[in-house]
Amino acid sequence: PEATKIKIRDSVANRNKRVKVSGWVQNLRVQGKDMMFIDLRDGTGYLQCILTGKLCHTFDALTLTIESTVTLYGVISELPAGKTAPDNHELVADYWEVIHKAPGDKEAFGNKLNAEADPSVLLDQRHLVIRSKKQSAVLRVRAQLMKSFRDHFDSRGYTEVTPPCMVQTQVEGGSTLFTLDYYGEPAYLTQSSQLYLETCLPALGDVWCMAESYRAERSHTRRHLSEYTHLEAEMAFLDFNDLLDKIEDLICDTIDRVLAHEPTRRLVEELNPGFKAPSRPFKRMHYSEAIEYLKEHNIAKEDGTFYEFGEDIPEAPERAMTDQIGVPILLTHFPAEIKAFYMKRSKEDPRLTESVDVLMPNVGEIVGGSMRISDYDELMAAYKREELDPTPYYWYIDQRKYGSSEHAGYGLGVERLLAWLCNRYTVRECSLYPRFTGRCQP
């Protein structure tokens, strides 16, 4: 009889019909001479296939290896009581062929995928490791997360833009810039698309982008990458409280959208059992309150002294505080000295900026945002204070001449949000091919 060519994701709808399915051998179990199980993977799902009798006696059957590619023909039948398999059915094969045979080394391949292997081995072998159930699940959630961001901004009326990655201005300080030779002129890989997004406001209204950002971070931490996916948005005519509301809305609405997609909700549940979407409003806390919190809870520096007002709160104490509090925090009003040149000062206390970081349990900072300086003279003074040459920023400065406005924006690290959502130990598991100090391959 005829066979319908299907993808595994459609196997339930094609039960009791003769189908043709192609994919990779995820796993292989031989039971005696006359029975063999293939766990087939085709990128859309997993399907148990059973081969019996003559089908198991061929040379191909006797020498089949995991990660070989095969095509199977047969009927997808519900399992008898007592047997289990994905979707509670299996393909009862009546014919099959090998498309390509992988080197027959189950042990070697298994070791490459072994979660107990040294992390650097797993990173060297990442092109194979992404085939594993867990790693492919994270990448699948990532795809749905990116779609959900897009749907979120679409529903809120923002326009998506594509700023350049090769630039001649810095955004977040000179120490983490990657430099490149641009036809003999110095240039950088972008740290953030923020400044370009600001120029789009008078042209397009509220805008957003999702692009790679680059940071030459020397620190070997679980949450720093040299190349990461940066989701950024910029809005005009709003105040600081509006900004906080919009950040909350982004996170909560996007997570709701991810979980509303049933296959993704199941993957999140497998990766992060018991995950609950965060509820609004988030806890709001001033930077100065965080400094007090660290003292009250005895979270100190290595030398035993406490963090004082004006100091940057590094990753470890920030994590300790966030994990103790256990809910998302909007940490606001950082001192100007520890923040970027473009941030607007607080009206109540000019030592402070109208700035915000979102901190998530188990990850720490996932978002950084602020009101922007909208006044020309104030911006020029900021360049002076930071000892930055304003010349290459002429186009940015022009925004304060030709119709300035109160405006604000934020940037979110996609890998960090994903690490929180999928309960991954490090952002390295949340990037397809992570780049960090000492690693630029595969």
The residue range among 138-146, 224-232, 266-274, 309-317 that interacts with ligand 4AD, by the rule CB under 6 A, is 224-232
228 belongs to the binding site for ligand 4AD (CB under 6 A):
yes
215 belongs to the binding site for ligand 4AD (CB under 6 A):
yes
224 belongs to the binding site for ligand 4AD (CB under 6 A):
yes
| Burial of residue 360, with CB atoms counted within 10 A of its CB: 0-12 exposed, 13-18 middle, 19 or more buried | buried
317 belongs to the binding site for Mg ion (CB under 5 A):
no
Min dist CB 339 to Mg ion, Å, is 8
The residue range among 108-116, 117-125, 343-351, 412-420 that interacts with ligand 4AD, by the rule CB under 6 A, is 412-420
Residue 15 region, left (φ>0) first, then alpha (ψ -120 to 50), else beta? Answer: beta
Helices (H) and strands (E) in the chain, counts: 13, 17
| Closer residue to ligand 4AD in complex, CB, 35/320 | 320
Structural contact between residues 14 and 8, judged by C-beta atoms closer than 8 angstroms = no
Min dist CB 11 to ligand 4AD, Å, is 38
Integer CA distances (angstroms), 427 to 83, 213, 332, 369, in order:
38, 14, 24, 20
Q: Determine the residue type at 307.
A: Y
Number of residues that bind ligand 4AD (CB under 6 A): 24
Beta-carbon contacts of 245 under 8 Å, excluding residues fewer than 6 positions away, are none
| Closer residue to ligand 4AD in complex, CB, 114/241 | 241
The residue range among 22-30, 263-271, 310-318, 368-376 that interacts with Mg ion, by the rule CB under 5 A, is 368-376
341 belongs to the binding site for ligand 4AD (CB under 6 A):
no
CA torsion, points 334, 338, 342, 344, in degrees to nearest 10? Answer: 30
171 binding partner (options ligand 4AD, Mg ion, none; Cβ < 5 to 8 Å by kind): ligand 4AD
The residue range among 40-48, 95-103, 142-150, 366-374 that interacts with ligand 4AD, by the rule CB under 6 A, is 366-374
Structural contact between residues 231 and 414, judged by C-beta atoms closer than 8 angstroms = yes
Tokens of 140: 């699948």
Under rule CB under 6 A, which residues in 282-301 are in contact with ligand 4AD? none
Half-sphere exposure of 324 (CA within 13 A, CB side): 13
Cα angle at 423 between 260 and 148, to 5 degrees? Answer: 30
**Cα–Cα dist 364/379, whole Å:** 30
Min dist CB 365 to Mg ion, Å, is 6
Of 11, 26, 48, 192, which one interacts with ligand 4AD (CB under 6 A)?
Answer: 192
368 belongs to the binding site for Mg ion (CB under 5 A):
yes
For the four alpha carbons of 90, 96, 97 and 103, in that order, the dihedral sign comes to positive
| Closer residue to ligand 4AD in complex, CB, 87/406 | 406
224 binding partner (options Mg ion, ligand 4AD, none; Cβ < 5 to 8 Å by kind): ligand 4AD
**Cα–Cα dist 159/165, whole Å:** 19
| Closer residue to ligand 4AD in complex, CB, 209/299 | 209
Q: Which residues lie near ligand 4AD (CB under 6 A)?
A: 171-172, 192, 194, 215, 217, 224-225, 228, 230, 232, 365-369, 409-413, 415-416, 427
